[in-house]
Structure 1
Amino acid sequence: MTASVVTIVYVNDAPAAARFYGDLLGISPSFETPGYIAFGLGPGADLALWADQFESLTPDVPRTSEVCLAIDGGPEELDAVFQQWRSKGVTILHEPHDAGFGRTFLAADPDGNRVRVAPQD
């Protein structure tokens, strides 16, 4: 069976969220409608932003999952990404620290969804 994995992130405003993620990831959407925008991340993987599924998502709603951006490079590369995101005004929930899988930090998108940066396995 051929399949791809689509990670769906619920947002209030799909175009605004797409600008946020597009800027952070340095890519453009591969599919766009007014309420659903997807980014091709590589063979078999997409990130989709879907609006109008919930009324007024707020950052204080508990989140039970996160988007993880797994990057190449060592701790210095991760720290550089952290500094870049911080300079863009991205909300940082947990500054860089060492975890069982390596150095990581946790940010939030404008709707409060969690975005982790970690080393690629």
Structure 2
Amino acid sequence: MTASVVSIVYVNDAPAAARFYGDLLDSSPSFETPGYIAFDLGPGADLALWSGQFEGLSPDVPRTSEICLTVDGGSDEVDAIFTSWQSKGITILQEPRDAGFGRTFLAADPDGNRIRVAPQD
């Protein structure tokens, strides 16, 4: 069986969220409709932004899940991405720190969805 994983993130405005994630990922969508936009993250992995499923998503509502973007380059790359995102005004929930799996930090998109950056295993 061939399988792929699509991580779906609920957002208030899919096109606005796509501009945000496109800038973060330095990527363009691979699929677009007015309320559903997807990014190809590599073999077997996609990130989809879906609006219209919930009304008025608020960044103030606690989130219990995260999107985790793993990067090559170790601690230096994680710190460089943190500096870049911070300069773009992206909401930082947790500054870089060392965890059991390596250097990491936590950010949030405009809808309050959590985005973790960590080193690739």
The TM-score normalised by the length of structure 1 is 0.98
Question: Who is 2:34 aligned against?
Answer: 34
Coordinate RMSD, CA, aligned: 0.5
| Matches of 2:21 and 2:61, distance apart in 1 | 20
Which residue identity is paired with 2:79?
D
- CA drift at 1:77: 1.1
| Matches of 2:73 and 2:34, distance apart in 1 | 36
| Matches of 1:85 and 1:63, distance apart in 2 | 20
Over the matched positions of the two proteins, sequence identity in percent amounts to 82
Counterparts of residues 63-82 of structure 1 (less than 5 Å): 63-82=63-82
| Matches of 1:51 and 1:113, distance apart in 2 | 13
Which residue identity is paired with 1:28?
S
| Matches of 1:17 and 1:103, distance apart in 2 | 26
The TM-score normalised by the length of structure 2 is 0.98
Which residue identity is paired with 1:21?
Y
Question: Who is 2:92 aligned against?
Answer: 92
Counterparts of residues 1-121 of structure 1 (less than 5 Å): 1-121=1-121
Query: Runs of at least 4 residues of structure 1 off by over 6 A?
Result: none
